[in-house]
Structure formats: structure tokens, C-alpha cells
Structure 1
Amino acid sequence: MKTRFICVFAAAVLFVSAVAAQEHPTVGMFPEAVFDAVEAGEAYAAVKVAAPGYTWAKSRWRPPLVVLLNGKKRASLIPIRGGEAAEYKVFLGPVGAGRHTVSVADPSKKEGRVVVESVSAGILYPRDDGYERISRAPVLLGRQDNESSDAPLMMWTVESATASGIALEYTVLFSNEDGGTKTAELMARYGRTVDIEYVYRVAFDADGRLVSETFQGPNHEELPFNGRKIGEHPVLRVCTFNNMVCDDGDSPFVFMNYPVEFDADGVRERMLDREPWINRVAFEELTREGKLTKSTPDPERMKIDDPRLYALVDIEADVPPGGPGIEISLKAAGGGEWRSASQGVDEMRFKGAGKARLGVLMPEGCSPEDIEAVRLEAVGVPGSRATILSLGPITFLDADFRPSHKEIIWKKKRALVAGSAPAIIKISE
């Protein structure tokens, strides 16, 4: 099935009547945005805010800020990027024709806790490109601890062709997961400590009629959606510590992250490469939760070393059901030893298929230019096979979590056979 990746922002979307902030806004004097809707549509807003002196590593953020539409709460907002003045985009759901006002409130009423620099707002109409996708975006009710852990940072949308029409799938990126896959396994097998989960899928026939709605429930079970909606937006609640969702219940935390354009070129972890702040926030959460160590591998697989010491290797593999795991190792120039993603721990070895990013812990000071060779090995029942379809790039994060890459010249598929000699690929300068 051919899949294409889409952006929910229409090129011609109009931001209207953004009211600029004062240079030094006082408490309760946050800026507002006013917009006029000529007909019913879907509203959205962008809030530029900073939290002076705050970092996600320091403490939880409670209560969240509130984004209001016409004086009524629509969305929760956590200034998770701390003192950095950053823009947070949210969708606000359906609105009717007329004038509307978007505002921001801080329920804590603590002076100086936040500085709201600007608020802007806009609307998509049914005729606009992207309307269907924004109008179906799920409203995510947070867990009671999302003010300090596993916060939803990003949402994206994928449109795919089906036998009878199309499907829209919504995926959410969380700052970590407190249950499910352990931190060291996440880093080794996915090259990240954030959690990426599909939450909602809706399918239509060729005439645009609704065919089905499903969500990813506890135990990764795909379940039919039978919950309430705001307009056409399904309301889902994060109901497990590994960020699965349910279609019932309530929460004071209402997350309405505006879906962004998905990067179809390579592994989905490339979404983190274009938003370095996500890796920084994830690191801050690891710091606060005591999930960092210099003694690796951690016997409990709950802790890792500084993520900036890991080489992140993109790979695409074709592995049949029951096929072998794939061990990937790197060697630095100057006679360094081979270092594997799994660090010799079976639970940390990649055993999947498709596109993935694997994390290999390297010596301190190692950079992309230092990587001399890659070793690939199938680990499993002797004679079982896997095929490597593509390899690279290799990515490192700098001190500010910005990515740098080293490409690997890859000319053809390469078969790996468990029990046979590994394949060694030397990397050209």
C-alpha cells in the first residue's frame, strides 16, 4: 500500500488580527488574538511564551497555562521549553461565523511565572486544503502526572491509500514513557528516549463517507472508537504509563497539539532532528527522573549515559516473521574497539523490521568523522536470514542537541545469515 505523508497546514492559511504583546507584560495582561470567521470552520492559535528561570529538568509545571476561545478553556499549555521564548501551536476545534477571541490565562496567578510575547490565530474552512485533517485531529486528555512526565510534545498526520479510499493516522510524540519499553532499550533499539505512538486512525471510502475509527488502546490493541467528540475531533485519554489511550474518562489536562508535516525521507526519528529542543527536553526529563548513569549497561536497563555520546544509525531491514535480530556495531578510527548497540544485552538488540534508528554508545569526544566502519550481524537461529536494504546516515547530537550527520555509501542490498560471518562496511571519508 502506497503511503504519503502530509502537512495539515494549508499554504494559503491566513493568520488574522494578532495582537502584539507589551514589551514587559504585567500579570493578567497577556496579549490576545481576534479573528473574524466568514463561515463555520476550524480554529487554531500560536502562543509565543517563555517561563523565566524554569527548565523541565527542575520540576513539574502545574497548573498548566490555559488557552481560551471566547473566554472558555480549550487547551492546556505547558511551556516545556522553559526560559526560551518559543511558539506553541494548538488547534482549537470548530467555530461558527463571527468574531472570535483567543486568550491565555495562568491559573497560578504567580507574578512573573510566564511571559506571553504574542498570540496569533487563524481558521481553516471546509474548502481549504488540510481542513479534513485538522478537523479530525484527536483531543488528548493527559494523565494526572503529565505536568512532570511523559508530556505530549508533537503530533503528526499520515494519509494512506486503502482498498476503498483513504485513511488518516495521527501519531503523538511523548517526552518519555514511564512504563513499557525501558530507557536503555529505547536508546539501543530506537536511538531515542521519547515515546512515539499512533493514537487514532480514521478511514473513509472513495466518496468521503466514514468507514471506521480506531485507536491504540492498552496492550497496543487496536480498538473501535466509541467515545465522545468535539465536532469531529475524537476525545482520547492517555490511560497507561506507556502512553496508550482510552476513549472514556476525563482529565484537567487537555492537549491539542497542532499536527505538523511528517518527514517521509527516512526514519521517523528524523522528526527529532529538525526540532532539537525535543531531545533537550527528553534529556531534562531523564535528568530529573534519575535515568542517567556512567555505569553501562545498566543491569535493570532503566538508565543510560548522556544521549549526546550515542551514535544514531539509521537502518532499513527486511526480516521475515521469526527471523533473526540484527546486531549493529561501530568502530572509531585509531584502533578503537567495536561497540554494539545492544552492549551484549539481548533485550537491547534490534529484532524488528522496516526503518529504524539504533543507538550505539561511543567514547566521549567521538564525532561522526571518527567512525571508521560498521559491522552488521544476524543473531538468531543458525541459517535464519535478514536483508539490509539501506544504511545511514550516522547522527550525533552536539552540546545543544543539534544533529550532525555522516553519510554511508550504500550501493546494494546485503543479506545477513545467522551463524555466518558478519558484514563489515568501511566508511569512506
Structure 2
Amino acid sequence: MRVVQLITASVAVAAAVAALAAPAMARADQDPAVQGRQIKVGRDHADARVPFVVKRSGEALVDLAAAAPGTDWAVKGAESAVVSIFVDNRYATDLVVSGDQRLPRQLALGALRAGPHLLRLHFADERSAAGSASVLLDRVKVTTYAPGGSDYLALRYAPIVYGRNLSELGTPYQNATTDTPLIAWHEARPGTAPGRTKLTYSVVWSNEDGGTNTPALMARWGRTTDIEWVYDVEVDERGNRVPGSDTYQAANHQTLRFAGRYEGDHALLETCTSNNNMCDKVTDPMRFFLSPLQTRPADQPREHLMDTNPWTYQIMSEEMIREGKIEAASETAPATPEVSDQRNYLYVALKKTTDRPNTGSSWVGVSVGVRLKSGGTVYLSNHVDPTWSIQRDDPAATTVELPPGTTADDIQEITANRVVVGTDNGAVVHVTGVKRGFFLGQDYLPQQSFLTWDGDVTVDAGTPSAVIWRR
């Protein structure tokens, strides 16, 4: 007998009708009909069907917590189970789920009119690991954002990113096992003319199979995920797209005019390089409609979105283990550039400014140094490779590899070090803040940050190193 746990239509619709009588929310409407129940979506089982009612037309999101018993992102062949989500039989998004622990996810469903709707949850057998049998979902909540607010605007133009199907990787449904999209966010800035707003959308992938190598990712970016802006668009004072204003990040990090198709106001893009750049023609069967509702404070690095979604560090670390990108424990040495267990690293976010343009083949960067109480060795974030130092003046994340077992209490001082790439252009660097510093715990989740600092320390040709924190 085929069995599936689902919300019965009579109970759900009754609750939804009752919700229609409730006062309208100013910003968004949450449908209580799909809250508080666990749903099991199983292989060879009927799809789970969840009726709900939208009180006001708008852009819809679904929040949920998801687990896939028996899957493990760190184990080849057992990576994930995939749920394909449909709204009124319209394919909305895939959800890649890994591990026994329920992780919070937020996905977009697109524009929905006021009235009754049906959420259909399908176990995608062919996209899931052979040994996976089910996905457990709870805390399912549908929220609609009506026109008139900044959240609605950000959701209205969010792109839909199709999966990757590179022939050189040789497998279908590639984002179910590698470089999977994890979270997205948006940033809003003034546009190119008065009254315009520029919306930029970015995605965090679990890794990049091409592009920057793993040790350089840890040194230059402070993680082995891949973070890329994918799409931007300008809207006028009425919130309408300015024709011809939307661009996307194409192969080789080019910025190209978008010339593809839209689904409503949502541009359709596809991941078409091994380092997760976009094409504006879509062919892959998988698609990812991640909620871009999150944003980041201006004084935080892009990795702040990982910090506020700590489970992304777990997935990041597990992918490195499965793909053999972590050196053996017996070979671990902090002085070598090879990436060791990612729990051996101090994860630091630095704020700095450089007093002249810092581009081209010659530039001046900064590395972070850590000295422990136990000795005089200074462990450097760039592993003595100048090109792995921090070049950008945006708030920037990096990592410092330390001996296994090092804790916050073992650290004596932290330094900022001026690093010259090419010809010294005489640049002076002002280091003005450390936004956070933490280790990953045994579960690969970030531990509490123990390190913040504000000030103004200068490093120049005459004083190339300065202490920015001392115990």
C-alpha cells in the first residue's frame, strides 16, 4: 500500500477560510493552514498536497524545515534527496535536502492571486541519491507580500536560476550532488537616474568546481563556498523594470545585457560554468527559486549571509570532505597551503581602506596574522602567497589556519600585515575594524564570535605590520 502523510483538504481549507476573516497584515499575509504539521514526501509514494488560501495577491514565499534521513552531503552516492515543489501544477522550484537534521529553508513561489491554491510536493526519484527514501518537512508556512513595499519589489524581480549540466562533469542533475545553491539575497541601491533603484541579486553555492582553487578560497575569501552576484535590474519610481537595464554575470565574470525569457517579472538564468556564472538561455531540468528576501548590513562582508545561516558552513565543509579537498590529518601542518580540517581555522572578517586605487597587476593587500600564547610563530592568512592577501576594501572575510585543537583562549594577538603584489605603489592601508572571529565547532557550525575590534591602525612601507588585537 502506498502511504504518504499529507494535510487533508477539509481541515486545511477550513483553516484557510477562517484566516480570510482575520484582519489583513500591513506587510505580508501568512497562511496558517499549512503551519504546524509534519509532511513526509517519499519515494514511490503519492505526492503530498497542501491546500492554502492567499488573502491578497502578491509574491509568495514558503518557509519550511527539511531533513532527508539516510543522506549525507559528505558521502559520495548518498548526497541528497530532492523535492520538486509545484504550485497549482506549475513547477516552482527544487529543494535539495541533505542529512537527518532539519534545516530551515525559504523558497520563492512567484506571483499568486488571491484565492485558493495547492502546493504539491514531489519526491524527485531520478534527482535523489539511490539510497534516499523520504524527506520530512515541518513548520511549513506560506507568506505573500502584496504590492507597495520594498520586500515585494525585491521578490517581484528575483531571478530563477536553473541547474548546471556541464558535459565535462558527466552526470545529470549536477546541483543535487555538487555546487548546490544554498541561499540568496538582494541589495538595493540608487540607480543611474533620479527615482530609480538598482536591485542586485546574489547566490551562495556550496562550492565551485572550477575557478579559484580551494586554498586560495580560504585565504582570499574566508570560505570554500562560492558567492556570486547573478542578476541586477533597475526599476523606476513606480516599481516597474526600466527596459534594457537588466544584466547578469556571464562566463569569465563578464557583465552582459539580459536577453532571455521571463516568467512573469522573473528573469530565467542558468548556471553554465564550473565556477557558477550564468547564461540567459535555460536547458537544465532542475531549477532553484531561492528567496532573496535577506539582505546584508553595509558594514558586513558578503559572508555575513552565511553567518546568519550557519548550516551553510556544515554543507560547505561536508562537500570538501567528500570531494577529497581536505588534507589527511597525518599530513596537517599550518605552514603549508593545503586545506586541512576546516575546524582548524580562525574565521575573521576585516574592515580596511587603501589610500589609492588598488587594481591592476601591482597592488597592496593585507594578511591577518595570529600568534598563540605557546610560541612566537605568526600564522598568516595568505600562507606567504602575496596574491592570496585581501585586496578589496569592502568588508572582507579570510581565514587563518592554526594547529589542530587551537581555541580562542590560546590566541595571544592578531596582526594586520601589509602585502605587496608586483611593484610597491606606496599605498597606505588603514585597518579600522574586525567584525567577527570564530572557530567551527565539532559539528562544523560556527561557534560564538569572540573577536570584535574598532579603531584605526595604519600599515605602510615603513611599518608593514601592526597589532590590531591583543589578549
What is the TM-score normalised by the length of structure 2? 0.81
Task: Give the one of 343, 348, 358 matched to 1:308.
Answer: 343
Give the secondary structure class of the aligned counterpart of 1:92.
strand
Q: Counterpart in 2 of 1:284?
A: 318
The answer as to whether partners of 2:334 and 2:402 remain within 8 angstroms in 1 is no
Change (3 A) 1:128 1:36: farther
CA displacement at 1:24 relative to structure 2: 7.1
Distance 2:335 2:413 in 1: 28
Q: Counterpart in 2 of 1:6?
A: none
Q: 19-28 or 94-103: which moved more?
A: 19-28
Q: Counterpart in 2 of 1:177?
A: 208
Give the secondary structure class of the aligned counterpart of 2:144.
strand
Q: Counterpart in 2 of 1:218?
A: 251
Q: Counterpart in 1 of 2:160?
A: 139
Q: Counterpart in 2 of 1:168?
A: 199
Q: 363-372 or 131-140: which moved more?
A: 363-372
The code of the aligned residue for 2:447 comes to: P
Task: Give the one of 387, 396, 399 matched to 1:356.
Answer: 396
CA displacement at 1:421 relative to structure 2: 4.2
The code of the aligned residue for 1:156 comes to: W
Whether 1:271 and 2:324 are equivalent positions in the alignment is no
Change (3 A) 1:126 1:296: same
Q: Counterpart in 1 of 2:133?
A: 113
Give the secondary structure class of the aligned counterpart of 1:316.
strand
Q: Deviations over 1:136-168 (max 9, x none)?
A: 111000103211111000001111123422111
CA displacement at 1:225 relative to structure 2: 1.0
Larger helix proportion of the pair:
2
CA displacement at 1:201 relative to structure 2: 0.8
Q: 369-378 or 29-38: which moved more?
A: 29-38
The code of the aligned residue for 2:180 comes to: A
Greater RCO (Cα-Cα under 8 Å, separation 6 or more): 1
The code of the aligned residue for 1:179 comes to: G
CA displacement at 1:128 relative to structure 2: 5.2
Q: 45-54 or 225-234: which moved more?
A: 45-54
The answer as to whether partners of 2:438 and 2:446 remain within 8 angstroms in 1 is no
Distance 1:72 1:108 in 2: 19
Distance 1:392 1:89 in 2: 26
CA displacement at 1:106 relative to structure 2: 1.0
The answer as to whether partners of 1:21 and 1:30 remain within 8 angstroms in 2 is no
Whether 1:344 and 2:373 are equivalent positions in the alignment is no
Q: Counterpart in 1 of 2:169?
A: none
CA displacement at 1:98 relative to structure 2: 3.1
Q: Deviations over 1:273-318 (max 9, x none)?
A: 22221111111100111000144689996x5111111112221121
| Uncovered stretches (5+) of structure 1, i.e. residues with no partner | 1-8
Give the secondary structure class of the aligned counterpart of 2:101.
coil
The code of the aligned residue for 1:68 comes to: F
How many residue pairs match? The answer is 417
Change (3 A) 1:426 1:96: closer
What is the TM-score normalised by the length of structure 1? 0.88
Distance 1:266 1:55 in 2: 31
Distance 1:19 1:385 in 2: 55
Q: Deviations over 1:299-354 (max 9, x none)?
A: 996x5111111112221121232431212211011324110011122332222222
RMSD: 2.8
Distance 1:35 1:24 in 2: 18
Task: Give the one of 16, 37, 42 matched to 2:54.
Answer: 37
